[in-house]
Amino acid sequence: MKKQKNTSPETDKASDAPLLLVLHGPNLNLLGTREPMHYGSTTLAEINLALAHRAEGAGVNLESFQSNHEGALIERVHAAREQGVLYMIVNPAAYTHTSVALRDAIAGTGIPFIEVHLSNVHAREAFRHHSYFSDLAIGVITGLGSEGYLLALEYLLSKISPE
Strand 61-66 and strand 113-117: the pairing is unpaired
- Amino acid (1-letter code) at residue 49: L
The one among 4, 96, 99, 146 contacting ligand DQA by CB under 6 A: 96
| Nearest CB to ligand DQA, comparing residues 103 and 117 | 117
Question: Judged by CB under 6 A, does residue 27 bind ligand DQA?
Answer: yes
Task: Give me the least distance between CB of 151 and ligand DQA, in Å please.
Answer: 14
Q: How many residues bind ligand DQA (CB under 6 A)?
A: 10
Q: How far apart are CA 37 and CA 41, in angstroms?
A: 9
- Return the active site residues: 39, 117
Selection from 81, 61, 52 nearest residue 18 by Cα: 61
DSSP per position, 91-152? E-GGGGGT-HHHHHHHHHHT--EEEEESS-GGGS-GGGS--SSTTTSSEEEESSTTHHHHHH
The one among 23, 121, 156, 157 contacting ligand DQA by CB under 6 A: 121
Q: How far apart are CA 34 and CA 62, in angstroms?
A: 25
> Which residues in 126-145 contact ligand DQA (CB under 6 A)?
128
> Which residues in 31-90 contact ligand DQA (CB under 6 A)?
none
| Nearest CB to ligand DQA, comparing residues 34 and 54 | 34
- Amino acid (1-letter code) at residue 159: K
Task: Give me the least distance between CB of 121 and ligand DQA, in Å please.
Answer: 5
Binding residues for ligand DQA, rule: CB under 6 A, are 27, 91, 93-94, 96, 117-119, 121, 128
